[in-house]
Amino acid sequence: MSFDKIRDPRKLRHQIGHMECDYVYTAGVAGERFYLALREDGKLLATRCDKCNITYMPPRMYCDKCFAELTNYKEVPLTGIIESYTITYFDMDGEVLPEPLVLAFIKIDQTDGGLIHTVGNIKPESLKIGTKVKALFKDKAKRTGALTDIKCFQPA
């Protein structure tokens, strides 16, 4: 009789199966305030750590550097700068899109953060890193408290 540990689980009596594992993450305290401000007021909120001189956008409840609780929420501009972008010509099923879709990381003005979002009303060939853009919100009645309450960013 061997007491060697079995290290390959396929050598044990077994059956193969699949377990569905979907996750739902809550927005958290800071995220809840951020999304409510988007939906209700068409505003971007940030939190700031004065000690570390960091403005978090989207807002965070605690400073990443010093772990201080951040309780001062402030409105920040709806404008920012394209720091990085990509252009996609296909949808998630591989079908050709009617128009190319521009996705960008937009650093929001007066903050140290930003958002990944679509950029509209711009010709892909005129895109540049450093282009100034502004958030264009959906009509209030169509907002749901999600990042898609911003229809897109467009040249400012």
Q: What is the Cα–Cα distance from 44 to 94, expressed in whole angstroms?
A: 33
Does 61 bind Zn ion (CB under 5 A)? Our answer is: no
Instruction: Specify whether the CB–CB gap between 51 and 66 falls below 8 A.
Output: yes
Binding residue count for Zn ion, defined by CB under 5 A: 7
CB atoms within 10 A of CB 100: 13
Q: Nearer to Zn ion by C-beta: 55 or 131?
A: 55
Cβ of residue 112: shortest distance to Zn ion, in angstroms? Answer: 11
**DSSP per-residue letters across 74-126:** EEE-SEEEEEEEEEEEE-TTSPEEEEEEEEEEEEETTSS-EEEEEE-SS-GGG
The two tokens of residue 130 are: 């450093």
Site for Zn ion in 13-52 (CB under 5 A): 49, 51-52
What residues contact residue 28 under an 8 Å CB cut-off, 6+ apart? 61
Side-chain half-sphere exposure of 14, counting CA atoms within 13 A: 8
Cβ of residue 33: shortest distance to Zn ion, in angstroms? Answer: 19
The one segment of 10-18, 22-30, 66-74, 118-126 that binds Zn ion by CB under 5 A:
66-74
Q: Nearer to Zn ion by C-beta: 40 or 69?
A: 69
Q: Nearer to Zn ion by C-beta: 60 or 117?
A: 60
Q: Nearer to Zn ion by C-beta: 41 or 69?
A: 69
Does 101 bind Zn ion (CB under 5 A)? Our answer is: no
Sign of CA dihedral 102, 107, 109, 113: positive
Does 142 bind Zn ion (CB under 5 A)? Our answer is: no
The one segment of 59-67, 91-99, 119-127, 144-152 that binds Zn ion by CB under 5 A:
59-67
Does 103 bind Zn ion (CB under 5 A)? Our answer is: no
List of residues contacting Zn ion (CB under 5 A): 49, 51-52, 63, 65-66, 68
